[in-house]
A and B are shown apart, each in its own frame.
Chain A
Amino acid sequence: MKYVRDISSIILIAGVMVLFNVFVTAPYLYDVVSGAPSKIERWLETYKGWSIYLTGTSLVSALLWYVLSQWFFKLNYWAKSGKRPVWSLLIAPPLLVTAIGIVLTPAAKEGMWLVYFFYFVSALIPYYLGTALFSPSSFKYAPVGSQLLRRWW
Chain B
Amino acid sequence: MAYYAIGIGGTGAKCIESLIHLCAAGLMPEPAREQAKELHVMFVDPDQGNGTLDRAQRVLQEYSTCRRVAAGGIDLFKTPVTVAVPDVWSPFAQETDPKLEDFYEHNTLESTTPNVAHLFDVLFSHQERDTPLGKGFRGHPAIGAAVLADTVDFGSVEPWMTLRSKVAQDAQSGEQAKIILFGSIFGGTGASGLPTIARLIKKELAKSKVTANYEISAVTMLPYFSFEQKNDDEMRAQAENFLINTQAALKYYARPYYLDVFDSLYVLGDHVLSPLGPSLRKLRDSGDQIDPKGGKDQLNEPHFLELYAALAAIDFFKAVSAKGVNMIARKEKGVHAWYDVPPVFRRTELLDKLDQLTRFAFAYDCTYFPTLESIATRGRPFRAPWYLNLFEGDDFVELSESLKNELLKMRDYIRDFLAWEASLQSTAKEVEMQLFNINTFAIKTTIDAKETYVLRNPDGFLVEEFANLLLPKGTQNPFALSNLWERMSDAKIDDVQARGVGRFINVLYQQCKTERYFESPTFGKEDSHAQ
Known interface pairs A137-B486, A138-B485, A138-B489. Does A74 touch B479 (Cβ–Cβ under 8 Å)?
yes
Map CB proximity to B onto A126-153 as digits: 1 under 8 Å, 0 otherwise. Answer: 0000000000111111100011000100
Is B384 in contact with chain A by the CB < 8 A criterion?
Answer: yes
What does DSSP make chain B's interface, helix, strand, loop or mixed?
A: helix
Map CB proximity to A onto B361-390 as digits: 1 under 8 Å, 0 otherwise. Answer: 000001110110010000011111100110
Min CB distance A150 to B, Å, is 9
CA distance A76 to B478 in the complex (A): 8
Is A111 in contact with chain B by the CB < 8 A criterion?
Answer: no
Is B482 in contact with chain A by the CB < 8 A criterion?
Answer: yes
Known interface pairs A75-B486, A76-B463. Does A141 touch B481 (Cβ–Cβ under 8 Å)?
no
CA distance A61 to B59 in the complex (A): 51
CA distance A82 to B485 in the complex (A): 12
Which B residue sits closest to A70, measured CB to CB?
B486
Does the CB pair B388–A81 fall under 8 Å? no
Is B464 in contact with chain A by the CB < 8 A criterion?
Answer: yes
Does the CB pair B367–A78 fall under 8 Å? yes
Is A42 in contact with chain B by the CB < 8 A criterion?
Answer: no
Does the CB pair A84–B382 fall under 8 Å? yes
Q: Within residues 49 to 69 of chain A, which ones have a CB less than 8 A from any CB in chain B?
A: none
Residues of chain A within 8 A (CB-CB) of B234 are: none
Residues of chain A within 8 A (CB-CB) of B368 are: 78
Is B490 in contact with chain A by the CB < 8 A criterion?
Answer: yes
Map CB proximity to A onto B473-512 as digits: 1 under 8 Å, 0 otherwise. Answer: 0000011011001110110000000000000000000000
Q: Within residues 381 to 406 of chain B, which ones have a CB less than 8 A from any CB in chain A?
A: 381-385, 388-389, 393
CA distance A141 to B384 in the complex (A): 8
Known interface pairs A75-B485, A76-B479, A77-B463. Does A141 touch B385 (Cβ–Cβ under 8 Å)?
yes
Does the CB pair B486–A141 fall under 8 Å? no
Residues of chain A within 8 A (CB-CB) of B384 are: 78, 81
Min CB distance A2 to B, Å, is 9
Does the CB pair B389–A76 fall under 8 Å? no
Does the CB pair A147–B388 fall under 8 Å? yes
Does the CB pair A137–B490 fall under 8 Å? yes
Does the CB pair A140–B463 fall under 8 Å? no
CA distance A142 to B388 in the complex (A): 12
Residues of chain B within 8 A (CB-CB) of A137 are: 385, 486-487, 489-490
Does the CB pair A76–B490 fall under 8 Å? no
Residues of chain A within 8 A (CB-CB) of B383 are: 81-82, 141-142
Q: Within residues 434 to 479 of chain B, which ones have a CB less than 8 A from any CB in chain A?
A: 459, 463-464, 466, 478-479
Residues of chain A within 8 A (CB-CB) of B370 are: 78
CA distance A74 to B478 in the complex (A): 10
Which residue of A74, A79, A138 contacts B385 across the interface (Cβ within 8 Å)? Answer: A138
Map CB proximity to A onto B2-37 as digits: 1 under 8 Å, 0 otherwise. Answer: 000000000000000000000000000000000000
Q: Give 6 pairs: A residue, B residue, CB < 8 Å, sorted on A.
A: A75-B482, A78-B485, A137-B489, A141-B382, A141-B383, A151-B389
